Structure 1
């Protein structure tokens, strides 16, 4: 079997990772290759300066009513049965980043244009034989959805129509919605001669707009959601007042896919390499944090208050003896991840309640992450108020790895979580997790067995139950060491192996 994966991110290449999809696109092909599947992975070339390339060929596509020449390269590497391929064009590399931030009122405009051109190049390269025709085409998230649109509606690509297409929804909250026309970044601007069925492609809430994610859900042969529980949650409409995040407007299309037997819920996996920092201790972590903070500070002409407070707090942590629990959290700072920590509880924010509770047990709380500017500011201010909170505004791989390894309890109160990788990485390192029992978190963390979980029918209940569960959990650590050790062992022994997941891909997703 031969599979071609099309994605925006791929952590097998330097500088091509933003979120968890990059981990999947890095790891899934290796697991498939071990089962005899040949996998090609293609992403845009964001300006990769330090990779060895082998020229594959050029394609010319009509885009925005102009001919565009794009070049395909295979990345030189030793991995058997997996080929990493990049497509080069100035539009992909001019920003030097995977994603761009557009001005308010034009969401996704730059990226949608970039990925539409990339998708057209994938179709043309398949037609011309520059890319080998696969048995199955595996598209990831909205960034690759136009491949399905072009294959189904562009007569030029009708020869590709019988290729089996699987589509993975990694983040249903981001759908890449753009107008059908009257905009430089719109479906008819990109492909002016395309005859399409608007009923399949329009956004259910904004009928004058093209929704790439909905298009792929309707047009592909299989639709994959990245955990069994999440595949059920997305069949229901979201209810933000009650703190429920479901299909985000696409629930009807996903219900149709489920009725047709197209919808598949397969959990993402995790790799289990040998631990590299076996002798690491808190001093190792603190030294790594300090070096990382200095590195971040050096990137700015003026010292940011968040880095200054963090460095001062780090010195306090180093100076004071501490035998209490170390609570950790690693992840993007978005509403999805920290909405519950931003709720009001008796006149104060939940994040302050969490810090006070951790302090009650003589513990410390370290948060690593960046993202939404307002949330970064909120967490910086919370750090200033709470002497046991250290907020590290950024991402440092080495710091994150040590936090997984040395933390006592990993906090992941996501409002929704299609799969989640952070909880798997913490569990792999033997750190139990306290999670909101939704999506992939529900499928990986069992309460009082390999971790701890809470739920609730409203935002207020979820926040209250989070704080109650944290209190109970820290109490178990302090007063019931045998039970704690059993849960810790359960976390360490849990396995979400890519081998099993690759088998599920082959048997249910690619057939």
Structure 2
């Protein structure tokens, strides 16, 4: 079986979020399980192909887009006997400081940039005579591929379209049709038209053979008005094609027993290394250790956005910092307004709050190792990987019960000595406060807390399980006829 896997970012080459982790790990695991995978992504300016072991392919691709002949360069690397990686290079298009934009604003030509990725991928498939069984596409940046395969080329290849975050839909004005190579006949309610605009997300949803989301609960949530971002009715129309498959974790990168980014490695039977990481983490943030048994170190590793519930942390922090001895350490970047408000919290609790407004992979590893709890009060969370990393490092998640957070965290029940974290239902300051006070209450009981830490560390969210589900999905549609919802 041969799968073409297309994404706008892929770890370790180019990353802004969890999509890159998935695009880096899932194809690698599929390859380990005997599936031949060809991964495709843009060659961004942050990628040095020669340093990463890529070789330049001749000849360049040739295809038409926006009234001109395009000839992108192609770089290739064989990462595994079953895994080929291709970088698509177009001078002036991807060689910019940011992947999607700069200074908090999207690039004005993202319509063309990612239509180019889609059209060039299909040209690559033709030029190399790959003949895939399935093309697996990810988020709006690749939504034109299912549209092209299902509507423009009469189902030439089955497609899987994975929705990682419904909040980003790739919306562009009607005038972008030409730049994206879209025919006006598709600008209809059962096509890619969305309230008078072009939606790349809707193009993928309407035309893909199967649609996946990154957790079971999120597959349900996006079909509701609260989480569907206006597209819930469209998704309900294709509910028979939607399946939730949980993301996994690459434990070769995220395991405290072998994490060389940590100052001390450790496992569930000997947590002394975690205690050392805790001390060094507090020193990194210029905070003193809480008195023995007094208060936990609570971490936030997140983009600073409203979706992540950062405003709820700001509104509630005084309630669970005051009088508890807790420490709050925040690592992330994003909204300047939220940064200023977090500085305000720090101003009221200077001995308890540490802030680092940056993306720092090494410090993130130390956060997962050195914190006692990870706070994730997301208003919606398609899957979430941070809570999975945290559990493996013995850091207990305190989360809102939504999406993948609800699927992966089992609420603690002391009377049964079960659970792996703490969940609260409502995305409010009161909800966060309830969850934090419950967690602090258990933290102050050394025996139950240590058993909780060890249960969390024993959880297995490896990619091998998720990959098996994707393989079954691929097999179910390979060579499948078009569904009614895919036809013109």
Please confirm whether the aligned pair reaches a TM-score higher than 0.5, indicating the same fold: yes
Cα RMSD of the aligned pairs, angstroms, is: 2.4
For 2:21, the equivalent position in structure 1 comes to 23
* Structure 2 counterpart of 1:210, from 175, 178, 198: 198
After superposition, the Cα gap between the structure-2 partners of 1:287 and 1:473, relative to the gap in structure 1 and judged at 3 Å, is closer
For 1:472, the equivalent position in structure 2 comes to 438
Q: Does 1:134 align with 2:103?
A: no
| TM-score, normalising length: structure 1 | 0.82
For 2:309, the equivalent position in structure 1 comes to 338
Q: Distance in 1 between matches of 2:286 and 2:183?
A: 63
* Structure 2 counterpart of 1:229, from 217, 220, 232: 217
| TM-score, normalising length: structure 2 | 0.86
For 1:120, the equivalent position in structure 2 comes to 119
The offset of 1:198, in angstroms, is 2.4
Instruction: State the secondary structure of the residue aligned to 2:93.
Output: helix
Q: 1:285, 1:399 within 8 Å by CA — same for their partners in 2? A: no
The offset of 1:196, in angstroms, is 2.7
Q: Distance in 1 between matches of 2:397 and 2:241?
A: 33
Q: Tell me, which stretches of 5 or more residues in structure 2 are unaligned?
A: 267-272, 413-418, 477-488
1:408-427 aligned at under 5 Å gives the runs 408-427=372-391
Q: Tell me, which stretches of 5 or more residues in structure 1 are unaligned?
A: 239-245, 292-313, 344-348
* Structure 1 counterpart of 2:251, from 260, 264, 272: 272
After superposition, the Cα gap between the structure-2 partners of 1:379 and 1:102, relative to the gap in structure 1 and judged at 3 Å, is closer
* Structure 2 counterpart of 1:167, from 148, 161, 165: 161
Q: 1:201, 1:210 within 8 Å by CA — same for their partners in 2? A: no
After superposition, the Cα gap between the structure-2 partners of 1:18 and 1:332, relative to the gap in structure 1 and judged at 3 Å, is same
Q: 2:111, 2:180 within 8 Å by CA — same for their partners in 1? A: no
For 1:201, the equivalent position in structure 2 comes to 191
Q: Does 1:485 align with 2:447?
A: no
For 1:4, the equivalent position in structure 2 comes to 4
For 2:472, the equivalent position in structure 1 comes to 507
Q: 1:100, 1:110 within 8 Å by CA — same for their partners in 2? A: no
Alignment deviations for residues 338-375 of structure 1 (CA, whole Å, 9 cap, x no partner) = 255267xxxxx22333432xxx2222111111112211
Instruction: State the secondary structure of the residue aligned to 2:420.
Output: coil
Q: 2:29, 2:463 within 8 Å by CA — same for their partners in 1? A: yes
Q: Does 1:377 align with 2:340?
A: yes
For 1:396, the equivalent position in structure 2 comes to 360
After superposition, the Cα gap between the structure-2 partners of 1:112 and 1:131, relative to the gap in structure 1 and judged at 3 Å, is farther
Instruction: State the secondary structure of the residue aligned to 2:190.
Output: helix
Q: 1:44, 1:92 within 8 Å by CA — same for their partners in 2? A: no
Q: Does 1:88 align with 2:54?
A: no
The offset of 1:469, in angstroms, is 2.2
Q: 1:227, 1:439 within 8 Å by CA — same for their partners in 2? A: yes
Instruction: State the secondary structure of the residue aligned to 1:109.
Output: coil
For 1:255, the equivalent position in structure 2 comes to 236
Alignment deviations for residues 250-285 of structure 1 (CA, whole Å, 9 cap, x no partner) = 111211111xx2100111011223433316566656
* Structure 1 counterpart of 2:146, from 148, 168, 182: 148
Instruction: State the secondary structure of the residue aligned to 2:235.
Output: helix
* Structure 2 counterpart of 1:438, from 397, 402, 408: 402
The offset of 1:5, in angstroms, is 0.5
1:243-392 aligned at under 5 Å gives the runs 246-258=227-239, 261-273=240-252, 274-276=257-259, 277-278=264-265, 280=273, 314-317=285-288, 324-341=295-312, 349-356=315-322, 360-387=323-350, 388-392=352-356
Q: Distance in 1 between matches of 2:173 and 2:178?
A: 9
Figure out how many residues of one structure are paired with residues of the other and give that number. 450
Q: Distance in 1 between matches of 2:367 and 2:133?
A: 42
Instruction: State the secondary structure of the residue aligned to 2:109.
Output: helix
For 1:447, the equivalent position in structure 2 comes to 411
The offset of 1:421, in angstroms, is 0.3
Q: 1:166, 1:510 within 8 Å by CA — same for their partners in 2? A: no
After superposition, the Cα gap between the structure-2 partners of 1:265 and 1:193, relative to the gap in structure 1 and judged at 3 Å, is closer
After superposition, the Cα gap between the structure-2 partners of 1:103 and 1:82, relative to the gap in structure 1 and judged at 3 Å, is closer
The offset of 1:317, in angstroms, is 2.7
- Greater share of residues in helix: 1
After superposition, the Cα gap between the structure-2 partners of 1:503 and 1:193, relative to the gap in structure 1 and judged at 3 Å, is closer
Q: 1:51, 1:76 within 8 Å by CA — same for their partners in 2? A: no
After superposition, the Cα gap between the structure-2 partners of 1:383 and 1:377, relative to the gap in structure 1 and judged at 3 Å, is same
Q: Distance in 1 between matches of 2:99 and 2:376?
A: 26
The offset of 1:232, in angstroms, is 0.9
Q: Distance in 1 between matches of 2:91 and 2:39?
A: 20
After superposition, the Cα gap between the structure-2 partners of 1:61 and 1:103, relative to the gap in structure 1 and judged at 3 Å, is farther
The offset of 1:481, in angstroms, is 2.4
For 2:55, the equivalent position in structure 1 comes to 54
The offset of 1:290, in angstroms, is 7.5
